[in-house]
Amino acid sequence: MSTDSENFYAQIVNKLKNWARINSPWAIHFNSGSCNGCDIEILATLTPRYDVERLGIKLQGSPRHADVLIATGPVTLQALDRLIRVYEQMPDPKYVIAVGSCALSGGVFDGCYSVIGDLNKVIPVDVYVPGCPPRPEAIIFGVVQLLDSLKKGKKPTKIVVSNDVPELIIEEKSNGNN
């Protein structure tokens, strides 16, 4: 067979794979030291009110079968090795969704001695879902954003959910001279 036709078949297989992945992503959920709040909300997306399985999204027990890693928590030192191990066990291409404020920045646990505080410091993150904890709708929305960007073949970009976000009030710190 010529290399041209080989490429042709490889392209078709890739397209087919991508199509399958977008239509039915399998997710693994890993808790890297979260308080359960996010984990319960992730579990709640499987139950009748939200029921993501009707959209083809399946929560999978084994990292070797998963396309998407849904990670929560501020990454404790104890969970660090296991998080990396789970990520490395997943077959390529793989995507990571960080759920909850802790996974974004450490949340309330910022500064604790046994947390790293940012999932992005450990593994590359594709989608962030903020909230403490985010609502199940928000988690589903995050997954949909990832799938949309996969269709277009691009990395997800920042989106504006609401325009009327109140301005941050930053406390004025007094100088040492005053």
Partner 1 sequence: MTEAKKEKFIVPIGPQHPALKEPGNFEFTVDGEIVTDAAVRLGFVHRGIEKACENRNYTQDLYLLERVCGICSHVHATAFVLGVEKLAGVQAPPRAEAIRVLAAELERIHSHLLWFGVAAHEAGFDTLFMYTWRDREVVMDILETLSGSRVHYSVNILGGVKIDVDQKLSDLIKKDMDFLEERTEYYMKVVTTDDTFLGRTRGIGTLSKDRAKLLGAVGPTARASGVKRDIRVNAPYSGYKEFPVKMVIDQTGDLEARFVVRLKELYESYRLIREILEKIQPGEITTRIKRKIPEGEVISRVEAPRGELFYYIKSNGTEMPDRVKVRTPSLCNWGTITDVAVGHKLADMPMLLAGIDPCFSCNDRMVEIRSDSQPSQMMNWDGLRKYGIEYYR
How far is Cα 64 from Cα 141, in angstroms, rounded to an integer? 24
- Toward partner 1, which CB reaches closer, 22 or 59? 59
- Toward partner 1, which CB reaches closer, 22 or 84? 84
List residues binding partner 1 (CB under 8 A).
28-31, 33-41, 43-44, 47-49, 59-62, 72-74, 76, 78-79, 82, 86, 107-109, 111-115, 132-133, 135
Which segments of the chain does DSSP mark as H helices, in order? 3-23, 37-44, 77-89, 101-105, 136-152
- Toward partner 1, which CB reaches closer, 22 or 63? 63
3-state secondary structure of 119: helix
- Toward partner 1, which CB reaches closer, 117 or 156? 117
Smallest distance from the beta carbon of 127 to partner 1, in angstroms?
Answer: 18
Tokens 């947390």, located at residue: 115
Sequence-ordered list of residues with C-beta below 8 angstroms from that of 169, at least 6 positions apart, any chain: none
Torsion of CA 97, 47, 132, 160, to 10 degrees: 60
How far is Cα 58 from Cα 52, in angstroms, rounded to an integer? 7
Smallest distance from the beta carbon of 5 to partner 1, in angstroms?
Answer: 40
Smallest distance from the beta carbon of 146 to partner 1, in angstroms?
Answer: 19
Smallest distance from the beta carbon of 137 to partner 1, in angstroms?
Answer: 11
Smallest distance from the beta carbon of 68 to partner 1, in angstroms?
Answer: 14
N residues, the chain = 178
Element (H, E) at 29: strand 26-31
Smallest distance from the beta carbon of 89 to partner 1, in angstroms?
Answer: 10
- Toward partner 1, which CB reaches closer, 11 or 47? 47
- Toward partner 1, which CB reaches closer, 73 or 156? 73
Residue 39 near residue 33, CB atoms below 8 Å: no
